Amino acid sequence: MSESTERVVIIGGGPGGYEAALVAAQLGAAVTVVDSDGIGGSAVLTDCVPSKTLIATAELMTDLAGAAELGLSFTDHEGDDAQSLHVDLARVNARVQQLAADQSVDIGRRLDREGVKVVRGRGRLDGAGDAGGVRRVAVTGDDGDQTLEADAVLIATGAAPRTLETARPDGERILTWEQVYDLTEVPRKLIVVGSGVTGAEFASAYLALGVDVTLVSSRDRVLPGEDADAARVLEDVLTRNGMEVLSQSRMESVTRDGDEVKVALTDGRTVTGSHCILALGSVPNTGGLGLEEAGVVTDEAGFVKVDRVSRTSARGVYAAGDCTGVLMLASVAAMQGRIAMWHFLGDAVRPLDQKMVSSNVFTAPEIATVGWSQKDVDEGDMQAEVVTLPLSGNARAKMQGIHDGFVKLFCRPGTGIVVGGVVVGPRASELIHPIAIAVTESLTADQLAQVFTVYPSISGSIAEAARRLHRV
Ligand SMILES: Cc1cc2nc3c(=O)[nH]c(=O)nc-3n(C[C@H](O)[C@H](O)[C@H](O)COP(=O)(O)OP(=O)(O)OC[C@H]3O[C@@H](n4cnc5c(N)ncnc54)[C@H](O)[C@@H]3O)c2cc1C
């Protein structure tokens, strides 16, 4: 590996920033990360890590809800209630916040060990850079103002929850997803506005925790961006478990009236609850970064425009993660950041291919996807054969009391190469990996089918689906 003496300054310490810092340090660059709110970024402190920690508790509740079917009851031998289960949300949220803070400390220590300098403060590009390609980053920080010089700058400033004038969070009852961890009592009636991934995850988690949940969705169904069959299974499960899903219902305003929140819909109806979570999407943190003066082009929504190796329109300025709006996932932010550094520091680099990205919706059941989708096939963008195998026929699923979910595989008609897949079920996030390997490595359905799976296992359904795609 060639050593470098390049100076890299990274603005933003989330996965886009810190993963890039680790790669740049490994390649020998002198790296400084400027971060305003804590290493790990929103991913670790307010979004991904806290929500998945909350969902871990919700998952356990979902498992326990199925206990009776597997022969367990929460009674003593006389049949009296031995223990009734109740959610202590103050403890749950204290654990969530502690885990997130610890994770941030862990990442900070790792950066320190690798020789990355961390500066606490707000950074912005200072002008267009000089003729020799040196860029300047102005930092306003706890220890006063300073200017850092860099041979390359990575912008990884992330995004923030979108709010509306007519639906202003108050941090108590009208909440963004960043504010839910301050709750100390389980909401009496929760209204979740927005049925994208974030809205669906919170609605599903609180439902599992025993909360009365109404999900307000402006579309025909939940998760409009996901596989329609998968979304249908999820919506069935959620409504069967008591959630009210208001489809084609657009929120007009959210107001607070004492201990109540009122969500007014554009069709004149009003939904009343004790709390409301707003899941209205994200806006990029790209204001006040000096982008225009530095020659960095953004789109109409303010996202930084990048190519597949994370280059912006300005020489020596890269961008990664949510501020680019490419695919708003921690895994993608991290890969964009690494790609930027591999590219700048002359290491081998494979441009980002969104069709290789596995993603998961952490609802109960989970929905994991990779590669080309059913929509791509239906719209003729990809010619593929499709097999869908319900999990209800899987022996392990029967043993575990899993009734909902499926495995879906897409392969090219001529070559049999696997080009995509969907898994719906518990721990689908873990099950998508073999399909992701097949998609990334262009394996055929036959090759996937020939790999031994454990019997009995849910992953056996992946091999079985691949077998069904065999053509003679
Ligand atoms: C509720 C929720 C759950 C999610 N769950 C998942 C999941 O399970 N899996 C997944 O892959 N993705 C998940 N995501 C998406 C994931 O959190 C984001 O894609 C990820 O945080 C993007 O990383 P980033 O580095 O671009 O930005 P961030 O993580 O937002 O980090 C950016 C950092 O830059 C700092 N910053 C901003 N401006 C400046 C400045 N001028 N100077 C210095 N610092 C600055 C910010 O304070 C922040 O610390 C979730 C998102 C949400 C909202």
Average pLDDT for runs of 10 along the chain of length 472: 78 98 98 97 98 98 93 76 81 98 98 97 92 90 92 98 97 98 97 98 98 96 96 98 97 97 97 98 97 97 98 97 98 98 97 97 98 97 98 98 98 97 98 98 98 98 97 74
> How confident is the model at residue 471, as a pLDDT?
80
Strands 135-141, 30-35: pairing kind: unpaired
> How confident is the model at residue 129, as a pLDDT?
79
* Ligand 1 residue neighbourhood (C-beta within 6 Å): 11-17, 34-38, 41-43, 47-48, 51-52, 122-124, 156-158, 177, 198, 285, 289, 321-323, 328-331, 333, 362
Residue closest via CA to ligand 1's atom 6 equals 48
CA of 322 to the centre of ligand 1 (A): 6
CA of 379 to the centre of ligand 1 (A): 32
Instruction: For ligand 1, pick from 9, 48, 361 the residue to mutate: most ligand atoms within 8 Å of CB.
Output: 48
Which atom of ligand 1 is least distant from the CA of 39? Answer: 49
Distance CA 10, CA 31 (A): 8
Distance CA 292, CA 317 (A): 12
Output the CA–CA distances (angstroms, integers) from residue 465 to 271, 424, 430, 450, 469, in the order listed.
43, 14, 17, 12, 7
Which atom of ligand 1 is least distant from the CA of 17? Answer: 25
Contact in structure between 251 and 165 (CB atoms under 8 Å) = no
Distance CA 334, CA 312 (A): 17
Output the CA–CA distances (angstroms, integers) from residue 167 to 159, 170, 177, 252, 406, in the order listed.
19, 9, 14, 8, 37
Cis peptide before 434 (omega within 30 of 0): no
Contact in structure between 323 and 285 (CB atoms under 8 Å) = yes
CA of 95 to the centre of ligand 1 (A): 20
CA of 330 to the centre of ligand 1 (A): 7
Instruction: For ligand 1, pick from 18, 22, 35, 354 the residue to mutate: most ligand atoms within 8 Å of CB.
Output: 35
Contact in structure between 291 and 109 (CB atoms under 8 Å) = no
CA of 14 to the centre of ligand 1 (A): 6
Distance CA 115, CA 50 (A): 28
**Residue 253 CB contacts under 8 Å (≥ 6 apart), including other chains:** 164, 166, 167, 263, 264
Contact in structure between 133 and 140 (CB atoms under 8 Å) = no
> How confident is the model at residue 130, as a pLDDT?
83
CA of 234 to the centre of ligand 1 (A): 26
CA of 373 to the centre of ligand 1 (A): 26
Residue closest via CA to ligand 1's atom 7 equals 48
Residue closest via CA to ligand 1's atom 45 equals 12
Which atom of ligand 1 is least distant from the CA of 160? Answer: 30
